[in-house]
């Protein structure tokens, strides 16, 4: 942590509360002030592990039943601040590093004027998360519209929840009922999209694979919808 970290009040005195934010929500003011962390009841010792991606978790945010799940309690500072929805990605940083959780069912809330104490059930997210495709309504799925011609939208993609020292490779895939258009390509190293778009509606998986020697390979993805007029 540095003296310019938002959790430091004057460059010398540390603010002890962890940083807590919902990565799916934007436009509510400072992301560091949207929520206040109160506590969590995350079970970090549960032993059951589910390695296959068959747990019904949202797109690309693989979770594992029975392992690191629980609830996070937080404070909304304004009545207009939104509560994370199921499928939203919660970022919790306690100073020693970032952890990411998939939001589940919201818990009880108690309101005093504009301040609301809330809780949300969570499961630990294990796979990479394509943050550039996060949306409030749909988890990791985003739609872009442009005219036919040189691709001008969704040119690059960003990712979190990767492992230190891992090799990241970006690829494209096709959801059921679609094929990857021949005019669209992705840079394997950066995730940048390129191509000369033709009219139509196209959906593709933007996939990032996290590979680390001697450990399991992890892959995360989001859906990118391209509407070309």
Average pLDDT over residues 164-188: 92
Tell me the pLDDT tens digit for each residue of 13-46.
444 557 788 888 875 554 444 577 676 777 655 5
Alpha carbon distances (Å) from 181 to 144, 197, 203, 207, 224 = 15, 9, 9, 16, 13
Which 3 state secondary structure label does DSSP give 4?
Answer: coil
CB 68 within 8 A of CB 123: yes
Domain ranges of the chain: 19-126, 130-228
The rounded distance, in Å, linking the Cα atoms of 94 and 75 is 16
Tell me the pLDDT tens digit for each residue of 53-110.
444 444 555 555 556 778 888 887 777 777 788 888 988 876 667 888 888 877 766 7
Q: Which pLDDT belongs to residue 3? A: 41
Q: Which pLDDT belongs to residue 202? A: 94
The CATH T-level fold of domain 130-228 is Immunoglobulin-like (2.60.40)
Instruction: Say what percent of the chain tops pLDDT 70.
Output: 74
Query: Strand runs (DSSP E) across 82-162, as ranges?
Result: 89-93, 98-106, 110-112, 115-124, 129-130, 134-135, 139-146, 149-150, 159-160
Question: Among 190, 52, 74, which residue's Cα sits nearest to residue 126?
Answer: 52
């Amino acid at each position: 942590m540095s003296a310019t970290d938002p959790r430091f009040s004057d460059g010398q005195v540390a603010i002890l509360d962890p940083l807590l934010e919902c990565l799916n929500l934007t436009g509510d003011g400072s992301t560091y002030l949207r929520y206040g962390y109160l506590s969590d009841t995350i079970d970090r010792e549960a032993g059951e592990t589910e390695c296959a991606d068959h747990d019904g978790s949202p797109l690309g945010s693989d979770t594992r039943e029975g392992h690191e799940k629980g609830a996070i309690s937080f404070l909304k500072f304004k009545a207009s601040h939104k509560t994370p929805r199921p499928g939203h990605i919660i970022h919790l940083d306690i100073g020693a590093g970032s952890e990411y959780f998939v939001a589940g069912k919201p818990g009880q809330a108690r309101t005093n004027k504009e301040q609301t104490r809330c809780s949300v059930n969570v499961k630990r997210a294990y796979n990479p998360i394509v943050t550039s495709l996060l949306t409030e309504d749909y988890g990791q799925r985003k739609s872009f519209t442009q005219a036919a011609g040189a691709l001008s939208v969704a040119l690059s993609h960003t990712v979190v929840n990767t492992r230190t020292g891992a090799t990241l490779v970006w690829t494209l895939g096709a959801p059921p009922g679609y094929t990857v258009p021949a005019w669209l390509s992705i840079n394997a190293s950066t995730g940048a999209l390129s191509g000369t778009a033709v009219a139509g509606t196209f959906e593709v998986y933007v996939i990032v694979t996290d590979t680390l020697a001697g450990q399991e390979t992890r892959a995360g993805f989001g859906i990118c919808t391209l509407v070309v007029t």
